[in-house]
Amino acid sequence: MQKLFLVVIAILLLALPVAAQDQTVPRFESAECPFAAPDQVECGFVVVPEFHSEPDGDTLRLSVVIRRGTNPDAEPMIVLSGGPGEKTTENAGFFITGNFAEVAGAERDLIVFDQRGVGLSEPALECPEYTESMLALLEAEPDPEAMARQSFDALIACHDRLVSEGYDLSAFNTVENAADVADIAEALGYEQVNLVGVSYGSALAQAIMRDYPEIVRTATIDSVLPPNRSFFIDTATTVTESLTRLIAACTADEACNAAYPNLQQVLFDVIDELNANPVSLTITNPATGESYDTYLTGDAVLGNLAIFLYQAPVLPLLPQAIYNVSQGDYSLMGQLSGAVLPAYTALTRGMMYSVFCADDIIGRAEDELLDVYEALPPQYRGMGSLDLLTEYSSFDVCAAWGVPELDAALEEPITSDIPTLVMGGEFDPVTPFTYAQEVAENLSNSYIYRFPSIGHSVLNSNECAREMAAEFMNDPTSAPDGTCIAEIPPVEFVLPPPSGDIEFIEFTSDQFGFSSIIPEAWDELAPGIYAPSSVSTTVVLQQALPGAAEDAVALLESQLGQTLEERERISAPALDWTLYQTSIQGLVVDVAIAADDTQAYILLLQATQADHDTAYETVFLPILMALTPAG
């Protein structure tokens, strides 16, 4: 009888009405954050139509992170990431506490999201086939045809898999992305938003200004891509023009020109020599620590230069990197090759090609790409022939990708009176400042600024730019104060270390409780950390901490992720030191530790293999002999 009663209860419960699940689109669905989030941060998904022309059709889920501001009446700021395909929400901790938080200020909500098809959004059009292919090619002997064919085949394999899994790749383009941003604003309850878009994000911002102007309070566009420009076609020209500007800046700098004379011809000679006779070397991925035995070709040198023209902190190193290679020193260029590797997984490639094949080459022809390469100096064309270029070009990828091109009218310049701040960097290799000027001409309520000594992404590179963007967002009715731009110094190129004796200066550190010396021309980058410049790979650390020598060893081992093996002991006038040596990401690291009754003293040298012996003898050992506890 009891058993029958329970069955009757279960039947009755099943018969009770159930609250209908919210199926409205767009809608926000809360979810756990993909990172350790502070209390003011909320995470989840905004559900949007797969095709906005079919609001009752299938849906996609966009990963969204919201950092709540202190003033609910302040219009929020939405960050539009680049790429296309840049992953954002898995790195949202950087966005909500770093440079973009500085622009938004504490009062505004700050929203970052993964665009459709990207990162943690669902689905994500990842292409592991491409990543695996690129890593395999690292260790293969250079063969332009095999490399072009293998990377092409990997992309097509990715496309075929995505299609076989049921994804309609025509749903991923800038028009749908722009509609998504309007949906995010609606789902989160915002009437108007402040857009901040960098690189492809600037193109997305322009599309939102065109299609949904009513939701845009202000737009800040940085490293600007006009709608009528093609990344696929124009990049070869913009990269080489940027490189020419950097070489000209070195030539105009007396010290740089003296250290690296005739730099343009040296670069051409380096490319010719290494394409003819590639050099084997080992490179390390700084994100994973994994090493690869690979080959340095002239094409690889040019590829490294193209990528690091993006990054303002690395610009000063590039002439030295070129000249070192010309003299048979490949260590610095090898570090740059290793630093490129994280880019293999930084973008969601399936989304990138879906967007570009729909947006980027509207009305364009492969002959235009051929014309661009024919106009370049031969060293900038690459090892492959022009026939090979056209056989495996982006046009061929897009022909196989199969998404329709968008309407040609979308290439028309965006005309708008929305308050817009337009920014560009002097050495930007992919979206030169002339692009920013082209776009600003059609924005009647815009303010445009050029930032010297900066490559791509001005907001991520410069405090002055962030201050101006914050000021503009707070008061878009007037131009932000740009006087700080004049205070940005020209590129301070890294020069070879002097061949003569190094001049030291004495100092006393009250913070660490010792006196010591440091080369006179070096800068203190942070307390107790010194280098010839902010971008130098040679760095010396002099610090102290309470405790015994073994406490210092344990701390360093945890921070370095390495076990320190004792190498030798040296008795200096003031302290007895134990020396250790290890290597991290291709750099040699020397550590010396000593202790007295009150604290442990740490001296650390980091240098490339090529620079190590000189730095060890001329800097590390003199400091070791001079460091003296206070009192």
Amino acid identity, residue 173?
A: N
Peptide bond into 378 cis (omega under 30): no
Other beta carbons within 10 angstroms of residue 475's beta carbon come to: 11
| First-to-final CA distance of the chain | 90
**Under a CB-based contact definition with an 8 Å cutoff, are residues 361 and 232 in contact?**
yes
Q: Which residues contact 269 (CB under 8 A, 6 or more apart)?
A: 326
Other beta carbons within 10 angstroms of residue 340's beta carbon come to: 18
Tell me how far apart the alpha carbons of residues 570 and 46 are, in angstroms, rounded to a whole number.
62
Per DSSP, the chain holds a count of helices (H) and strands (E) of 23, 21
Band of residue 5 on the pLDDT scale cut at 50, 70, 90: very low
What's the half-sphere exposure (Cβ side, CA atoms, 13 Å) at 289?
5
Residue 443 Cα distances to 417, 426, 478, 499, 572, angstroms: 6, 21, 15, 54, 67
Tell me how far apart the alpha carbons of residues 183 and 48 are, in angstroms, rounded to a whole number.
7
In this model, does residue 2 exceed pLDDT 50?
no
3-state secondary structure of 239: helix
Q: What pLDDT is stored for residue 8 in this prediction?
A: 35
Average pLDDT rounded to a whole number, residues 303-314: 91
In this model, does residue 223 exceed pLDDT 90?
yes
Band of residue 534 on the pLDDT scale cut at 50, 70, 90: low
Average pLDDT rounded to a whole number, residues 234-246: 95
Per 3-state DSSP, the chain is made up of helix, strand and coil in percentages (nearest 5) of: 45, 20, 35
CATH 3.40.50.1820 intervals, the chain:
38-125+176-227+410-496
Which tokens belong to 435?
């692009």
**Under a CB-based contact definition with an 8 Å cutoff, are residues 418 and 445 in contact?**
yes
pTM of the full structure = 0.84
Tell me how far apart the alpha carbons of residues 127 and 358 are, in angstroms, rounded to a whole number.
18
Average pLDDT rounded to a whole number, residues 155-182: 97
DSSP assignment letter at 227? T
What's the half-sphere exposure (Cβ side, CA atoms, 13 Å) at 272?
8
Average pLDDT rounded to a whole number, residues 339-353: 90
Which tokens belong to 217?
């309070």
DSSP string, 75-130: PPEEEE--TTTB--GGGHHHHHHSHHHHHHTTTS-EEEEPPTBSTTSBSB---HHH
Q: Which fold has domain 504-629?
A: Protein Transport Mog1p; Chain A (3.40.1000)
Task: Round the average pLDDT of the chain to a whole number and report it.
Answer: 91
In this model, does residue 531 exceed pLDDT 70?
yes
**Under a CB-based contact definition with an 8 Å cutoff, are residues 564 and 556 in contact?**
yes
Tell me how far apart the alpha carbons of residues 22 and 388 are, in angstroms, rounded to a whole number.
53
pLDDT tens digits along 369-380: 899 999 999 999
In this model, does residue 170 exceed pLDDT 60?
yes
Which tokens belong to 80?
């539009």
Tell me how far apart the alpha carbons of residues 534 and 529 are, in angstroms, rounded to a whole number.
11
Q: List, in sequence order, the alpha helices (H) in 420-561.
A: 433-440, 458-461, 463-474, 549-560
Residue 440 sits at φ, ψ, to 5 deg, of -65, -30
The closest alpha carbon to 331, from 2, 8, 606, 108, belongs to 606
What's the half-sphere exposure (Cβ side, CA atoms, 13 Å) at 565?
3
Peptide bond into 342 cis (omega under 30): no
Q: What pLDDT is stored for residue 176 in this prediction?
A: 97
Q: What pLDDT is stored for residue 386 in this prediction?
A: 82
pLDDT tens digits along 604-624: 999 877 778 889 999 999 999
3-state secondary structure of 451: strand
Which tokens belong to 545?
């901490």
3-state secondary structure of 378: helix
How many angstroms from the chain centroid is the CA of residue 555? 30
Tell me how far apart the alpha carbons of residues 408 and 553 are, in angstroms, rounded to a whole number.
64
In this model, does residue 4 exceed pLDDT 60?
no
Tell me how far apart the alpha carbons of residues 599 and 451 are, in angstroms, rounded to a whole number.
46
Return the minimum-mean-pLDDT range out of 107-116, 352-361, 500-509: 500-509
Residue burial 563-591, b: 16+ Cβ < 10 Å; e: rest = ebeeeeeeebebbebbbbbbeebbbbbbb
CATH class for the region spanning 38-125+176-227+410-496: alpha beta
CATH 3.40.1000.10 intervals, the chain:
504-629
Residue 518 β-bridge partners: 505
Element (H, E) at 296: strand 291-296
Average pLDDT rounded to a whole number, residues 517-543: 86
pLDDT tens digits along 35-57: 888 889 999 999 999 999 999 99
3-state secondary structure of 511: coil
Residue 362 Cα distances to 31, 116, 488, 496, angstroms: 38, 21, 39, 47
**Under a CB-based contact definition with an 8 Å cutoff, are residues 279 and 397 in contact?**
no
pLDDT tens digits along 422-453: 999 999 999 999 999 999 999 999 999 999 99
**Under a CB-based contact definition with an 8 Å cutoff, are residues 333 and 319 in contact?**
no
Band of residue 586 on the pLDDT scale cut at 50, 70, 90: low
pLDDT tens digits along 464-495: 999 999 999 999 999 999 999 999 999 999 88
Which tokens belong to 479?
């131009």
Tell me how far apart the alpha carbons of residues 162 and 117 are, in angstroms, rounded to a whole number.
11
